[in-house]
Amino acid sequence: MAKRTILLGGAALILAGISVAVAQPDNSCTTYDGQMSGSALYVLMACPDNAKAQCAAPVNAGTIIQKGVNYRFLYKTRATEIQNSLVVVQLKAMAAQPVPEPVAIKLTRQQLNFACYTKDNKQDPIPADADDVTAAPDVGYSIYDRFHRYGYAPRKELRVLLSFHTSYFNGSACVSTLEKVRRAQFLFADRSNVAGITVGLLTRFGIDTPVAVAAEINHYDHLQVVLANYKKQPQASGCISFLGRSDGPSLEIDVSDLEEKAHASNDFDRFHPEVFTINTK
């Protein structure tokens, strides 16, 4: 049996990495800000009156993208008091038919310029080009779920997951993505069921029963988590940008703002992401 390690804390578990050359940040948020409203997802597509130019089109029930094509998506937050936040984006590409077992989850993290406990408050992206999903590390679904729900994983995967997570300055304090409510936003199902340390230990040693893998996860042939971030002034909107595609009939995009979730007033807002479904042709 593979040796497992218990997750007991936040910032102390962040692993140091070797600095690498990083890609220039995408500037789509600045370019298309005037075309977007708050609390909405947009996709860059050919403008209705100029096929050679791109416009930010709101994602709605009628949105259709081309199968097998990478698209640039933009998410603009509502205006809030939040200054800095990380946003968990889950990309779930629907398979033409259910897969025999859940596919591994690709992990990509954008460059962070307000990290805690790092040189110059910066943290490099994962991979070096955060849009290059082919170079991203991956973790099996059941291990990924167990880590975020119960706090433990085999040593190999644990290193990948701890390197992916981070601590950041939210405008008033340093917080960790491994804090219980923030960590819940990384789960693909049953987010409100995140164990504390005691239950995590009981589960680790077989005294408690882990949550079963959600059956619906077998409907997807690509699972990816993008850890994006924004920095803004209070009462302004934040914006993130990321790539997404689907080789099947549809793409589901779930968006969770960590600071909004951490300060939500009720469990529904705290544990349910914003969900957008886009059909392909």
The domain ranges of the chain are: 82-233+248-280
Picking from 78, 93, 29, the residue whose alpha carbon sits closest to that of residue 254 is 93
Edge to edge, the sheet with strand 71-76 lists: 50-58, 40-47, 71-76, 239-244
Measured CA angle at 198 (ends 90, 178), to 5 deg = 30
Check residue 26 and give its pLDDT: 86
CB within 8 Å of 212: residues ≥ 6 apart: none
Check residue 147 and give its pLDDT: 94
180: left (phi over 0), alpha (psi -120 to 50) or beta: alpha
> How confident is the prediction for the chain on average, in pLDDT?
89
Picking from 83, 86, 78, 30, the residue whose alpha carbon sits closest to that of residue 234 is 83
Please report, in angstroms and rounded to a whole number, the separation of the first and last CA atoms in the chain.
45
| HEC assignment per residue over 143-191 | HHHHHHHHCEEEHHHHHHHHHHCCEEECCCCEEECCCHHHHHCCCCCCC
Q: How does residue 14 score in pLDDT terms, banded at 50, 70 and 90?
A: very low
For 6, counting Cβ atoms within 10 Å of its Cβ (0-12 exposed, 13-18 middle, 19+ buried), the class is: middle
pTM of the model: 0.89
The whole-number average pLDDT for the span 37-66 is 96
Check residue 27 and give its pLDDT: 94
The whole-number average pLDDT for the span 186-215 is 70
* Exposure string over 175-186, b if 16+ CB within 10 A, otherwise e: bbbbeebbbbbb
Check residue 19 and give its pLDDT: 33
Q: How many CB atoms lie within 10 A of CB 228?
A: 23
Helices 197-204 and 141-150, packing angle to 10 deg? 140
Q: How many residues does the chain have?
A: 281
Q: How does residue 207 score in pLDDT terms, banded at 50, 70 and 90?
A: low
> Over the Cα atoms of the chain, what is R_g?
19
3-state secondary structure of 119: helix
Q: How does residue 9 score in pLDDT terms, banded at 50, 70 and 90?
A: very low
The whole-number average pLDDT for the span 141-158 is 94
Q: Is the pLDDT of residue 17 over 60?
A: no
Q: How does residue 141 score in pLDDT terms, banded at 50, 70 and 90?
A: very high
Check residue 209 and give its pLDDT: 62
For the stretch 58-94, pLDDT in tens is 999 999 999 999 999 999 999 999 999 999 999 999 9
Pair 162, 13: CB distance under 8 Å: yes
Q: Is the pLDDT of residue 13 over 60?
A: no
E strands present in 59-154 = 64-65, 71-76, 84-94, 105-109, 138-139, 152-154
Percent of the chain whose pLDDT exceeds 90: 82
Q: How does residue 24 score in pLDDT terms, banded at 50, 70 and 90?
A: very low
Q: How does residue 196 score in pLDDT terms, banded at 50, 70 and 90?
A: low
Distance of CA 48 to the CA centre of its chain: 31
Check residue 156 and give its pLDDT: 97
